[in-house]
């Protein structure tokens, strides 16, 4: 082993933190590291993929929880105001005078029927706004008050 010269110096392929650990006369015989596609194997592992999906799901849930407090419709004696489909930085503002509202309807799904919630859709001439997962009673109360206020306004 004394007279053998390695074809190239592996010392230069080491990160600087490890180069400083070597002695001057200490030859580097071999270097091994992780393959550059190791990330692919990590993602193909079902446990890691499941954990990553769970973490993404938790972030989506927390985002929906945060934006739910800004999803609101308010009925006044002259108009409907509020915000629907809020985002992290944007909110769709609702500002409809009674005359602009064409219809208020309830859409019920199978799960909504089980749990007692509906989607309320307010249709106007230009667009429609919907607010989901509202209790049936609150939507019916909102609609009844709206039509009472509409009669009083006319």
Q: What's the count of helices (H) and strands (E) in the chain, helices before strands?
A: 5, 6
- pLDDT tens-digit series, residues 98-138: 888 999 999 998 988 899 999 999 998 888 888 888 899 99
Q: Looking at per-residue confidence, does 131 or 32 come out higher?
A: 131
- pLDDT tens-digit series, residues 43-55: 888 999 999 999 9
pLDDT score of 13 more than 90: no
- pLDDT over 90 for what percent of the chain? 30
Q: Which tokens hold the place of 42? A: 């990590």
Contacts of 81 (CB under 8 A, 6+ apart): 73, 74, 93, 94, 95, 96
- pLDDT over 70 for what percent of the chain? 93
Q: What is the pTM of this model?
A: 0.61
């Amino acid at each position: 082993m004394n007279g053998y010269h390695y074809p190239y110096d592996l010392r230069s392929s080491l990160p600087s933190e490890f180069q400083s650990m070597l002695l001057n006369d200490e030859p580097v015989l071999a270097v091994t590291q992780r393959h550059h596609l190791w990330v692919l194997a990590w993602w193909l592992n079902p446990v890691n993929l499941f954990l990553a999906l769970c973490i993404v799901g938790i972030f989506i849930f927390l985002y929906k929880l945060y934006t739910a407090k800004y999803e609101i419709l308010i009925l006044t004696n002259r108009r409907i105001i509020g915000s629907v489909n809020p985002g992290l930085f944007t909110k769709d503002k609702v500002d409809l005078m009674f005359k602009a509202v064409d219809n208020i309807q309830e859409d019920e799904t199978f799960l909504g029927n089980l749990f007692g919630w509906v989607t309320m859709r307010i249709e106007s001439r230009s667009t429609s706004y919907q607010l989901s997962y509202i209790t049936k009673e609150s939507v019916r109360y909102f609609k009844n008050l709206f039509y009472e206020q509409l009669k009083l306004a006319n």
